[in-house]
Amino acid sequence: MRRTGSDTDVPEFDPEVFDRAIVAVALTAGPEHRLMYYNDAFRGLFGPRKLGATAAEVYDEPDAARFVHMLDEVYHNHTPRQVNTPRTTEGTRPGAPGRRHFVFSCSPVRSRHGHGVLAVCVDTTAQVEAAQRAEELSEERRVTLQRYEALMSAVPQIIWLMKPDWQIVELVGGFEEFTGMPWRSRIDTEWLAAVHPHDRSRLLRTWKEASQDTPTIFVCTFRMRTASGEYRHVQSRAAPVVRGGETVEWVGSSTDVEDQWRNRLRERLLARVATGTVAGDLPQALAAVADAVVPELTDACAVFMLPSPELTGGGTPLTAIRVASTAREGLPPLPPMSGKSRPVGPVAQQMIENRRPRLMVFPSGQPPAGALPDVTAQWMREARTTSLTLVPILVDAAVVAFACAAGCLDSPPPGPSDLTLLGEVLHEAREPLRQAMELQRTRQTALTLQRALLTPTPRVPGAEVAARYQPASRTAEIGGDWYDALLLPDGSATLTIGDIAGHDLEAATSMSQLRSMLRVIAYDRFRNATPAECLSQLDRVADGLAIAPLVTAVHAHLVPKADGGWHAAWSNAGHPPPLLLPAAGPPRYLEGSGPDLPLCVDPSRTRTNRHYDLTMGDTLLLYTDGLIEVPGTDLADGMADLALHAEAAKDAGVSLATLCARLLAAVPERRDDAAVIGFRPIALARPLS
């Protein structure tokens, strides 16, 4: 029967009709979902439950909260729900049948107990367990198939049996086809002649270690000459057969593993090249290439750098610089690298023109006369070289360098696969080399720009002015450090020292812009602008034009006095303080209340001026932080050391230029470029009467 109104869609029935149903049925009533009924099938699936208790009390399994939540939804929304994915009950309650699987549905109903939810559960244990067993059988079959495939892939090319008297019986043939020589029943000198000369002693040593005392598994990978004359890697494995405590025979296999070995070698070499060529320094990147191929592919390798095309003209003899070289142990030491360009021999010249590798094979220690430079030929005679491979290194279709790989002593010439892999390794270095070359060109451009701007200091009547700049190293010689000095029309002078964040072409370009703008501002000195006003104006322009991210600087204006001294006024924008070397007394830093903010931080901030009167013999030094920053030391220690070095140089009575040079040379392990500029009042020279 059906009810009207809000109950129209909710059927009313007697739950006892499900007493003999084969599916599990349970009825709950009210918002607390009190269990009012369940049939025998429900009891058989879940065990007995307490009638009249709430669902939260009845279904106390760990995962039952989701089921109770579903009862709430069905009860309040009057919408049936069903779950078709099997759920699991562990059956730990008394009277439960154990672990079972089931699916269920929930429907809104109205019975004599009022509104409630009817839950119908179907036992799917048999189906789920059957599916799981099928999956297990399928996995077992898959694993068995994998083992079979692995076993088949490991089937050796040659299987042999060795008797205690060292007689060898070939069980599965292939020796003659592989080596081109008749089957050898013993490991004799003729058999060993087919083994690569570099691998013979290791093969015998490994076999001796495996067979002496308590025999163990013998495993050795070595190169063997094939019927074509090329060497290929072979792996031999053998296990002792022991009866009654004695080894009665050895069962072994020999497999051609050249492809696997070469693939692993290729991956290893390319990884080493990729790791080594991340260096920004081009010779260091080429050295990584040479180190990668010795001794795996060749006994010795040297890399030569060719000059840039723009540096060579028509008719100019081609030269090269050896930038990297390495040789395996046991060979004579390579000639030291001189850093000088030397003429390229005719063989290398031909290789460069054709842009193709060139292989030369000759008797041991007898390179062709006149084909190679004298220093190269001399080393090859001493190393008893038997072959030389020249391989071009191309970047954008141009030969920028070439490698020379030498086989020495009793090494056979490289085979086609060796030459191919050597070419691949060198080719893989192409992109890192291009990046290194681009970086080198950028550095050279920036360095040229920077050095062009660091002009000599002017001659200032009544004062000695000197400056020095020095890069930290070849790889860090472009930066934002700069100095400047101007002689103004009124006889006064300006001194500036500055440092821009960064060590690249952008920093050098920003430095040139700021230096030029400050020169204009200082020379014009509108309304007798003070150093603070000059820096403020530069700050506004630099910020407005977004020239640099951060700049520190000290800008000083020095005016001569009637007594021969000079009045110094300066403004400090976040830079290390000036260092004063009095004519009498110890050095001291003119720090005042500390520096103002660096440039390009807050152009609206007012800047301050500092003042000091220099007397005859006083020395004022402006410097960059490269003179006081030393790895592993405190900045205060660096400043103290600078003052000590300056005082020692002053006491020695050296010129201002020499003092600046000594300060730069006194800092060990400098990691940054450095600049210093000094000002010292001196007596005016009297004109001859």
Tell me which H or E stretch contains 379: helix 374-382
| Contacts with 668 (C-beta within 8 Å, 6 or more apart), sequence order | 630
Q: What is the pLDDT of residue 85?
A: 87
Q: Where are the alpha helices (DSSP H) in 222-277?
A: 258-276
Q: What is the pLDDT of residue 282?
A: 66
CATH hierarchy code of domain 5-123? 3.30.450.20
Which CATH superfamily is 454-681 part of?
PPM-type phosphatase domain (3.60.40.10)
Q: Give the tokens for residue 62.
A: 């760990």
As to burial, measured by CB atoms within 10 angstroms (0-12 exposed, 13-18 middle, 19+ buried), residue 688 is exposed
More confident residue, 607 or 481: 607
Phi/psi at 223 (5° precision): -95, 140
Closest residue by Cα to residue 557 from 540, 542, 578 = 578
pLDDT in tens, 528-543: 889 999 999 999 998 8
Q: Give the tokens for residue 619.
A: 């020395």
C-alpha–C-alpha distance, residues 37 and 117, integer Å: 11
C-alpha–C-alpha distance, residues 486 and 109, integer Å: 100
- DSSP, collapsed to helix, strand or coil, labels residue 110 as strand
- DSSP, collapsed to helix, strand or coil, labels residue 320 as strand
| Contacts with 532 (C-beta within 8 Å, 6 or more apart), sequence order | 571, 596, 606, 607, 608, 609
Q: Which amino acid would we find at residue 375?
A: V
Closest residue by Cα to residue 540 from 573, 498, 497 = 573
Q: Which amino acid would we find at residue 401?
A: A
Q: What is the pLDDT of residue 312?
A: 46
Peptide bond just before 333 cis, omega within 30 deg: no
Does the pLDDT of residue 173 top 80, yes or no? no
> How many helices (H) and strands (E) are present in the chain, helices listed first?
17, 27
Closest residue by Cα to residue 523 from 510, 534, 509 = 534
| Contacts with 85 (C-beta within 8 Å, 6 or more apart), sequence order | 103
Give me the mean pLDDT over the 232-252 stretch: 89
- In the chain, where the domains are located: 5-123, 158-256, 261-441, 454-681
C-alpha–C-alpha distance, residues 306 and 323, integer Å: 10
- DSSP, collapsed to helix, strand or coil, labels residue 328 as coil
Give me the mean pLDDT over the 656-677 stretch: 84
pLDDT in tens, 299-314: 999 988 887 654 444 5
Q: What is the pLDDT of residue 146?
A: 72
Per-residue DSSP letter, 465: E
Q: Compute how many other C-beta atoms are within 10 angstroms of the C-beta atom of residue 425.
A: 22
Strand 158-162 to strand 168-172: parallel, antiparallel, or no bridges (unpaired)?
antiparallel
Strand 342-343 to strand 319-327: parallel, antiparallel, or no bridges (unpaired)?
antiparallel
- DSSP, collapsed to helix, strand or coil, labels residue 342 as strand
Place of tokens 């360095």: 447
Q: What is the pLDDT of residue 546?
A: 83
Q: What percent of the chain has pLDDT over 90?
A: 34
91-95, 261-265, 310-314: least confidently modelled range: 310-314
Place of tokens 């004359």: 229
Q: What is the pLDDT of residue 1?
A: 40
Place of tokens 């709950």: 28
pLDDT in tens, 358-409: 999 999 999 988 878 888 889 999 999 999 999 998 887 788 888 899 999 8
pLDDT in tens, 322-367: 888 999 988 999 988 877 888 888 888 889 989 889 999 999 999 9
C-alpha–C-alpha distance, residues 357 and 385, integer Å: 18
- DSSP, collapsed to helix, strand or coil, labels residue 154 as coil
- DSSP, collapsed to helix, strand or coil, labels residue 292 as helix
Strand 100-111 to strand 12-13: parallel, antiparallel, or no bridges (unpaired)?
parallel
Are the beta carbons of 348 and 321 closer than 8 angstroms?
Answer: no
313-322, 513-522, 658-667: least confidently modelled range: 313-322
C-alpha–C-alpha distance, residues 325 and 400, integer Å: 17
C-alpha–C-alpha distance, residues 168 and 103, integer Å: 68
Residue 37's Cα: distance from chain center in Å? 70
Angle value at C-alpha 297, between 291 and 298, nearest 5 degrees: 75
Half-sphere exposure for 648 (CA within 13 Å, toward CB): 9
C-alpha–C-alpha distance, residues 136 and 129, integer Å: 10
Task: Tell me if the pTM is above 0.75.
Answer: no
Query: How does residue 2 score in pLDDT terms, banded at 50, 70 and 90?
Result: very low
Give the fold, CATH level 3, of 158-256. Beta-Lactamase (3.30.450)
C-alpha–C-alpha distance, residues 583 and 591, integer Å: 19
Place of tokens 């994915």: 85
C-alpha–C-alpha distance, residues 387 and 366, integer Å: 10
Domain 5-123 and domain 454-681, same fold? Reply is no
Residue 535's Cα: distance from chain center in Å? 41
- DSSP, collapsed to helix, strand or coil, labels residue 254 as strand
Q: What are the percentages of helix, strand and coil residues in the chain, rounded to 5?
A: 35, 30, 35
Which CATH code of 3.30.450.40, 3.30.559.10, 1.10.3720.10, 3.40.50.300 fits the domain covering 261-441?
Answer: 3.30.450.40
Q: What is the pLDDT of residue 4?
A: 41
C-alpha–C-alpha distance, residues 595 and 491, integer Å: 28
Strand 493-500 to strand 579-581: parallel, antiparallel, or no bridges (unpaired)?
unpaired
Are the beta carbons of 397 and 290 closer than 8 angstroms?
Answer: no
C-alpha–C-alpha distance, residues 317 and 339, integer Å: 18
Q: Compute how many other C-beta atoms are within 10 angstroms of the C-beta atom of residue 447.
A: 17
| Contacts with 405 (C-beta within 8 Å, 6 or more apart), sequence order | 293, 297, 298, 300, 301, 388, 389, 391, 414, 422
Tell me which H or E stretch contains 374: helix 374-382
Are the beta carbons of 580 and 612 closer than 8 angstroms?
Answer: yes
